[in-house]
């Protein structure tokens, strides 16, 4: 199991030592800080330096970079850029609203409120009426005028003490601000907008200096956020966090240097600690894959290695072409030679590269096993034809192989769940693993001359496993109604098991589709070569290049999507992996976490 054990700790110390504590804890990089004081203005704060830099870099006009950073204040530049960005966004929003208001008020013209009308208790009311409704104006309204019109409507202004309630249409809400005042406000917004753009252009001289200060600014922002998660009372502060149990000596040494008190305890059963997956080497690629979908619970198990192995196998089975594998290896090698290691990257850090090499190798292995090179089978006389173990065009064989892989995958998942479960839950998981294995054996024994014994074994496993699983489900229910519902749920899982197993036929379907498409492009190129004299060679080459490029891209997309789907949906559904929350180490931006540095 690669889930590192963690402990809960609380650090206590004088308030003046809080900054030093946070700085050294960030350098150590092994704490997952839990909030003690939720001040939303601090907790919601996140590093904004990259956003400020992106805003300045997006300026259409930029100044020459400053050669000296003596007058450069990174915090001030960041704050100014974010202030300008926020104000520009607010100005644009207000300007859009003003333009809409001006468009509505334009037909009425500029009608300031007349003090004489107000003194006599009169008001202006505005209506937009179709031409044919003018005849429906109430007779008691004598002070009204059509101030504008078009082919369909008339804009009518009415003078009356109260709002007329028998008008043929509802009144228009024009607001209390006159047209000229809105126009003046729009001009003010434009002027302020120009001033802000000029200020933004002036700040662009510090883009290079700000880029070099990103890491420091983000570390400072992270410490500010962490400070908001602590609690201060009477000159003392407290910091609560989770940490790997192996990091306890380093934390005790840090507390001794600063003069802090530290209290530690194990997590109670009712509390869910964050999960720190402690995988190293190539297994970290599986951890990264699993992180796309979920983080396993702290008291669950880590399926990272299983997900990695099965995903690589599934991807290779979908591609299954040695020629495509060579192309993938060539592209990966070219990209790898051009790539520079990232700052702070740990040696052997598992990113996309180890996984990419494995996927290319799996594609090549399946391609050699089926004897397929760019959609064509090697002739029997070719020396590498001896490596061919499977006939990729044999429907029956490849379908059975896909179902066999599905049965093994789901059975292993159910056995892993049984290993960690307790009581009746363990019996239920073991029963379903027997159901899956027995159903697979019974199914594969059909139409086999030697399948009588295999069929009997499979049917026995299927029956015994189903009995055990349903019995365990009934025993876990409460009361007669609860046990009946549990029995029904168990029976409903039987067709789900069949459906999940049949889902692995997508491996056969995708592989066959890719092989058929490659063969079709080969045949089309061959016909073009023989049917078009002169330019046939060029056209055939273009068809092969474009066709196989398209097929390679589609195959990679299908292998990635469906290879992950079979792991995330089918496998994790039967494995009993509970979802947890990730361990987020409080660390320096470009430094690896403590667990990876300690190796």
Compute the Cα dihedral for 327, 331, 337, 343 and give only its sign: negative
Statement: residue 310 has pLDDT above 90: yes
The predicted-structure confidence for 224-259, as pLDDT tens digits, reads as follows: 889 988 998 888 999 999 999 989 999 999 999 999
Which tops the pLDDT comparison, 195 or 136? 195
- For residue 200, pLDDT over 50 is answered with yes
Residue identified by tokens 């396993």 is 296
Backbone phi and psi for residue 9, each to the nearest 5 degrees, phi listed first: -135, 155
In b/e form, how buried is each residue of 205-232, taking b as 16+ CB within 10 angstroms?
bbbebbeebbbebbbbbbbebbbbbbee
pLDDT digits (tens, 9 = 90+) for 434-458: 898 888 888 877 766 556 777 888 8
For residue 555, name the pLDDT band (cuts at 50, 70, 90). Answer: very high
Q: In this predicted structure, which of 43-57, 66-80, 339-353 has the lowest mean pLDDT?
A: 339-353
Residue 117: per-residue pLDDT = 67
**What pLDDT is attached to residue 596?**
63
Tell me: pLDDT of 42 over 70: no
Q: Mean pLDDT across the stretch 480-500? A: 85
Q: Which residues, including other chains, have CB under 8 Å from residue 167's CB and lie 6 or more apart?
A: 127, 137, 138, 158
Residue 41: predicted pLDDT: 46
User: At 591, is the pLDDT very low, low, confident or very high (cuts 50, 70, 90)?
Assistant: confident
Most confident by average pLDDT, 29-38, 133-142, 402-411: 402-411
Among 401, 403, 399, 428, which Cα is nearest to 414's? 428
- Token readout for 504 is 């692995």
d(CA 482, CA 553): 51
Beta strands in 100-166 (DSSP E): 123-130, 144-149, 153-160
Closest CA to 391 of 327, 311, 320: 320
- The pLDDT value recorded for residue 556 is 94
Annotated domain spans of the chain: 114-175, 283-421+499-575
User: What pLDDT score does 493 carry?
Assistant: 84
pLDDT of amino acid 118: 66
Predicted pLDDT of residue 314: 95
Q: For residue 480, what pLDDT band results from cuts at 50, 70 and 90?
A: confident
At 39, list the tokens: 């001040």
Q: What is the mean pLDDT of residues 378-400?
A: 80
Distance CA 211, CA 81 (A): 13
Count of C-beta atoms within a 10 Å radius of residue 350: 20
Mean per-residue pLDDT of the chain:
86
pLDDT band at 391 (very low <50, low <70, confident <90, very high): confident
User: Which one is predicted more confidently, 467 or 178?
Assistant: 467
Higher pLDDT, 497 or 47: 497
Other Cβ atoms closer than 10 A to 35: 14
Is the model's pLDDT at 192 over the cut of 90? yes
């Amino acid at each position: 199991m690669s889930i590192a054990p963690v402990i809960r700790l609380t650090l206590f110390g004088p308030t003046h030592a809080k900054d030093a504590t946070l700085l050294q804890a960030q350098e150590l990089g092994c704490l997952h800080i839990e909030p003690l004081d939720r001040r939303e203005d601090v907790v919601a704060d996140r590093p904004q330096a990259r956003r400020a830099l992106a805003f300045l870099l997006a300026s259409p006009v930029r100044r020459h970079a400053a050669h000296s950073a003596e007058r450069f204040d990174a915090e001030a530049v960041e704050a100014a850029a974010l202030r300008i960005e926020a104000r520009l966004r607010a100005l644009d929003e207000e300007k859009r609203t003003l333009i809409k208001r001006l468009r509505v008020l334009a037909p009425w013209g500029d009608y300031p409120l007349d003090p004489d009308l107000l003194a006599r208790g009169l008001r202006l009311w505005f209506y937009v009426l179709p031409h044919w409704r003018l005849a429906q104006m109430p007779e008691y309204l004598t002070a009204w005028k059509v101030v504008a019109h078009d082919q369909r409507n008339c804009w009518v202004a009415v003078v009356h003490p109260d709002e007329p309630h028998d008008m043929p249409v509802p009144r228009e809400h024009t607001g209390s601000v006159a047209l000229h005042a809105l126009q003046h406000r729009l001009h003010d917004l434009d002027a302020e907008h120009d001033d802000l753009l000029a200020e933004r252009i002036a700040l662009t001289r510090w883009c290079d200096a700000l880029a070099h200060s990103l890491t420091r600014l983000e570390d400072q922002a992270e410490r500010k956020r962490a400070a908001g998660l602590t609690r201060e009372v009477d000159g003392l502060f407290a910091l609560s966090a989770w940490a790997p149990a192996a990091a306890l000596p380093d934390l005790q040494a840090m507390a001794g240097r600063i003069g802090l008190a530290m209290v530690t305890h194990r997590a109670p059963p009712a509390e869910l600690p964050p999960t720190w997956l402690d995988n190293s080497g190539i297994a970290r690629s599986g951890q990264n894959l699993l992180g796309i979908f979920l983080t396993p619970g702290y008291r669950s198990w880590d399926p990272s290695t299983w997900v990695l192995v099965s995903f690589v196998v599934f991807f290779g089975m979908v591609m299954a072409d040695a020629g495509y594998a060579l192309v993938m290896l060539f592209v990966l090698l070219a990209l790898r030679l051009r790539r520079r290691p990232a700052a702070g990257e740990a040696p052997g850090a598992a990113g996309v590269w180890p996984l990419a090499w494995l996927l290319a190798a799996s594609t090549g292995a399946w391609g050699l096993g089926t004897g397929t090179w760019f959609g064509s089978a090697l002739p029997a006389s070719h020396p590498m034809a001896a490596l061919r173990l499977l006939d990729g065009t044999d429907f029956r064989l490849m379908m059975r192989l896909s179902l066999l892989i599905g049965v093994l995958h789901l059975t292993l998942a159910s056995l892993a769940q049984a290993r960690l479960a307790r009581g009746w839950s363990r019996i239920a998981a073991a029963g379903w693993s027997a159901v899956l294995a027995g159903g697979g054996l019974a199914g594969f024994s059909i139409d086999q001359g030697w399948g009588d014994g295999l069929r009997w074994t499979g049917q026995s496993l299927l029956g015994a496993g189903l009995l055990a699983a349903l019995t365990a489900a009934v025993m876990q229910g409460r009361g007669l109604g609860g046990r009946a519902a549990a029995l029904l749920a168990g029976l409903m899982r039987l067709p789900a098991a069949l459906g999940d197993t049949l889902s692995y036929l997508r491996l056969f379907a995708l592989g066959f589709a890719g092989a058929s498409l490659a063969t079709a492009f080969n045949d089309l190129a061959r016909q073009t070569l023989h049917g078009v004299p002169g330019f046939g060679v060029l056209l055939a080459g273009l068809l092969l290049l474009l066709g196989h490029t398209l097929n390679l891209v589609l195959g990679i997309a299908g292998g990635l999507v469906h290879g992950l789907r079979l792991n995330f949906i089918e496998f994790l559904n039967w494995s009993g992996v509970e979802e947890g929350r990730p361990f987020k180490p409080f660390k320096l931006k470009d430094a690896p976490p403590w667990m990876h540095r300690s190796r």
